[in-house]
Amino acid sequence: MSLPGWTPPFRSITLIALLTINSITITGTNSGDFAQTNNCDGGLTVGMSCTINVTFTPTAKGLRKGSLTISDSAPDSPHVVGLTGTGT
């Protein structure tokens, strides 16, 4: 899954669900070009949400790729969001 309208260097994802968040990581070929912060400590109950902020700081020119992986208690976990950016 990719993020439509990705506008580096910042993108935000908001999760709203009843679940336990186990981990949030960035992996992939150029994972060092992306970083994330979040306020998803522990879990979410009904009506709660948390936000994952992703920043992009390219270390080289050209297309850069990574993945944001969210591991949680949902049956279809993990959830993977494709990350792309272009270093200029």
Q: Tens digits of per-residue pLDDT, 31-46? A: 999 999 998 877 677 6
C-beta of residue 64 within 8 angstroms of C-beta of residue 33: yes
pLDDT digit string, tens, across residues 42-88? 767 767 778 899 999 999 999 999 999 999 888 889 999 999 999 98
Q: Alpha carbon of 59 to those of 25, 33, 50, 52, 73: distances in Å? A: 19, 6, 29, 22, 34
Range of the domain at 54: 10-87
Whole-prediction pTM? 0.74
Domain-embedded: residue 73: yes
Domain-embedded: residue 1: no
Q: How many CB atoms lie within 10 A of CB 51?
A: 12
**Structural domains of the chain, count:** 1
Residue 83, strand partner residues: 66
Domain-embedded: residue 78: yes
Q: How far apart, in whole angstroms, are the C-alpha atoms of residue 66 and residue 28?
A: 4
